[in-house]
């Protein structure tokens, strides 16, 4: 397949992979202790679950959008 027909460049794919990794890290930070009907686990209200993880996930989603919108500078003129 010709490289000129690809929608994304190598940089876009690298930025996209980094963004997806940050989102996955955010979801991992969001997971944690569970409460049942008989046992209450107060760790579900920790700052990591309520404040840090959603911010990390949001930053990951914003970086994915940035990776999609990023247009690398064309160093070579493509002759038709």
Tokens 């209450």 locate to 40
pLDDT at 72 over 80: no
Tokens 């980094």 locate to 18
CA atoms within 13 A on the CB side of 13: 5
Question: In which band, very low, low, confident or very high, does the pLDDT at 74 lie, cut at 50, 70 and 90?
Answer: low
Contacts for 68 with CB less than 8 Å, ≥ 6 apart: 8, 12, 16
Quote the pTM value.
Answer: 0.78
**Residue pLDDT, tens place only, 14-26:** 999 999 999 999 9
Cβ pair 13, 24 in contact under 8 A: no
Higher pLDDT, 42 or 78: 42
**Distance (Å, rounded) from C-alpha 37 to C-alpha 13?**
45
**Residue pLDDT, tens place only, 34-54:** 778 888 888 888 888 899 999
């Amino acid at each position: 397949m010709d490289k000129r027909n690809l929608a994304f460049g190598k940089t876009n794919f690298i930025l996209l992979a980094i963004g997806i990794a940050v989102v996955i890290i955010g979801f991992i930070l969001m997971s944690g202790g569970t409460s049942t009907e008989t046992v209450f686990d107060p760790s579900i209200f920790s700052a990591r679950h309520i404040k840090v993880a959603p911010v990390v996930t949001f930053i990951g989603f914003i970086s994915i959008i940035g990776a999609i919108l990023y247009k690398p500078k064309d160093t070579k003129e493509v002759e038709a």
